[in-house]
Structure 1
């Protein structure tokens, strides 16, 4: 079985001719002048592999992801070892520009087999006299992303529409974990209303997460680059880093899922805990559009929840917020079945639900709510929250004795309970509080 191949750039005639003269391993079906032409040809189903002889600098993680989605493996020719390392980081196999046709044919077969999940020598083979057969002991290019996953854990704070307090909870979680002596990275991945920078009083207009995604897309995001992009935030009890969100909602296209995946994988390497302030919307309606490979508005939220080790679902404890949370949890289960959220009721007060607010909420939840039980209650402490917001600080600085601060601390810093396979943190704060 022959592999249809598209070449890009002014490749050497003897290279293309050599591939065609092999009669079996590969077949060159088109020669493209630039990457945009390559993308159009591959999306039409014309090829299963692409050889980029020139212009490999234009290859990005997003482009590779789009080509991989239509079953096309990419092999780039370069003599620059730094460029070869960058290509490996975004999932592109490489070969020297002077590679022999038979060796390139074998590399193409290996890349296609790796993409399809087949064995490297089972689907596409050269003839018995193929001199490239001696190359079969050489390992294929490593997959995209870091060589080894980092040990850090990812916590995503999510909640339905209506501002239930996601940002307040996420920021103070990061602060409390830093106060415990952990290395923490706070990520603002809300593509609708990023507000971590404003809440912490950061005069930052650089959109740190967008910068990190851009570097990841180009295969240039290493540990040092990520640490440089992140903004340090110092408190009296500890220091943590922040990847600020996009400065305008129309910049959501910069938070592409493939790039964000690489950013979070790198984040695991530099932080013990990564706390993500996720957006509210879980819709995937963009998939119904004509161009199914177009960037998706909610990709940042969905990918954050998919990669998280623990998901905290925050809802407002009032007659409007509770039904929103119930509907949101159903949408979350449909969009990210593995999430297993920890449900947190925020702004709990008697004036909104009646006397004994925690008991009232538990009774209503057991009667009408989903299978996920209520794990914690965060009291309504308007004075403390306003003081923190006004000062651009955290509760541990603005109101260290606040009941809200203590509830968040107990929620995230309590000993891990082995109630779920993901070993997520859980809290009994709500059960211990008085009605």
Structure 2
């Protein structure tokens, strides 16, 4: 069966004529004057492939995903090596403009075949709210072999929890600090599209929405390791350093955190850091706009994509009569939104005043009776004094309260006991006074 193709660009006359004379694998069904017309034609279901003969600079990762969502692979003609690399990075198959018609037809067939294979392998994503296809549905030929060989090997850790301030940011920030304290290279990402607060917690007053900047570069195919490191803010501790991609400065900027761009950011982040810690938002529901327009941006896309791509997910809830039921319901939603995910369950703010005597025992017994099958991984004690001291000084627990049980509990989650530094290099105020004396 011949593949229906739409084209755009001034060079399309020779291009179209050459393809039509083949009378074989592809058929040009429409010649478009501009990219917007091509997009409309593809969204109407007219084609399975789009050939951009001119104007490839207008292609972005978001546009590629919009076409991918309706089953269209993109092939662009360019003689610029840098542009070719950029296009390949956002999922576009790039060929030289002087390509012969037969070779171009073969390239179109390969791109469509590879794209269809990726769509089949990931078709379940849309059934669970993933309208934007992102990296998971990018056609295979668009990624050069050398890029695949140099893919990052860093681990992605996502911290999620239901509504109600269970302590997502507290955990994510201090996990990043503890990992950096162990000598690992760490990148902390604030992907909360409702209430980004990592910058405020760390006292970063010159917050410039680093993640939004990185997503913008990724969408344009311009995000490399150097540019990622430029927009990531370094946070220096006395025992190490880690970098932060701060969150959006206003809630109405959520449209800048598209799933496709964030997936590219996470891919690049794994190349610059051994561990990538992502502080996610709470909401998992599919946006109402999806009922009317599958191409609409989704506010919860950043959270869903982070959870989908994470190597490990920590689900945190408050250890009280409101927080625990919220977490139980939230875990059901989490499994529905990201099938197959097996999160580590953490109960935070554990205190006898909210649960009763022997709070950990009571919480565990209640969880075994009424909670999901997944067991609780850890209990983090309530320590408002230590948490407030860290927040007031804009630092981490390992600096503001290095001996606190809360700090030790978070460290145990991400650092193996036999590998943890027995004594933090951070000196307590008492120790400092002794040294001065």
Q: Provide the TM-score with structure 1 as the length reference.
A: 0.88
Q: Secondary structure of 2:148's match? A: coil
Q: CA deviation at 1:14?
A: 2.1
Q: Deviations over 1:118-172 (max 9, x none)?
A: 9xxxxxxxxxxxxxxxxxxxx9543699424311111111000000010001100
Kept in 2: contact 1:154–1:268 (CA 8 A): yes
Kept in 2: contact 1:156–1:311 (CA 8 A): yes
Instruction: Tell me, in whole angstroms, the C-alpha distance in 2 between the residues paired with 1:198 and 1:284.
Output: 29
Kept in 2: contact 1:91–1:143 (CA 8 A): no
Q: CA deviation at 1:80?
A: 0.6
Does 1:352 find its partner at 2:334? no
Gaps of 5+ in 1: 119-138, 417-435
Instruction: Tell me, in whole angstroms, the C-alpha distance in 2 between the residues paired with 1:7 and 1:411.
Output: 53
Equivalenced residues, count: 397
Kept in 2: contact 1:348–1:377 (CA 8 A): yes
Q: CA deviation at 1:350?
A: 0.7
Instruction: Tell me, in whole angstroms, the C-alpha distance in 1 between the residues paired with 2:14 and 2:336.
Output: 53
Kept in 1: contact 2:287–2:300 (CA 8 A): no
Please give the residue correspondences for 1:231-250 in structure 2 after superposition, counting only pairs within 5 Å. 231-250=233-252
Q: Quick one: which of 259, 262, 270 aligns to 1:260?
A: 262
Instruction: Tell me the equivalent position of 1:122.
Output: none
Instruction: Tell me, in whole angstroms, the C-alpha distance in 2 between the residues paired with 1:406 and 1:150.
Output: 30
Q: Secondary structure of 2:244's match? A: strand
Structure 1 runs of 4+ off > 6 angstroms?
A: none
Instruction: Tell me the equivalent position of 1:9.
Output: 9
Instruction: Tell me the equivalent position of 1:147.
Output: 148
Kept in 2: contact 1:286–1:292 (CA 8 A): no
Please give the residue correspondences for 1:94-109 in structure 2 after superposition, counting only pairs within 5 Å. 94-109=94-109
Instruction: Tell me the equivalent position of 1:172.
Output: 174
Q: CA deviation at 1:192?
A: 0.5
Instruction: Tell me, in whole angstroms, the C-alpha distance in 2 between the residues paired with 1:339 and 1:144.
Output: 29
Gaps of 5+ in 2: 119-139, 419-437
Q: Secondary structure of 2:340's match? A: coil
Please give the residue correspondences for 1:263-342 in structure 2 after superposition, counting only pairs within 5 Å. 263-286=265-288, 288-342=290-344
Q: Secondary structure of 1:280's match? A: coil
Q: Deviations over 1:296-334 (max 9, x none)?
A: 111110111111111111100111111111111111111
Q: Secondary structure of 1:147's match? A: helix
Instruction: Tell me the equivalent position of 2:432.
Output: none
Q: Provide the TM-score with structure 2 as the length reference.
A: 0.88
Instruction: Tell me the equivalent position of 2:377.
Output: 375
Q: Deviations over 1:55-94 (max 9, x none)?
A: 1001011111111121111111111110011111111111
Superposition RMSD in Å: 1.8
Instruction: Tell me, in whole angstroms, the C-alpha distance in 1 between the residues paired with 2:287 and 2:98.
Output: 46
Q: CA deviation at 1:204?
A: 3.0
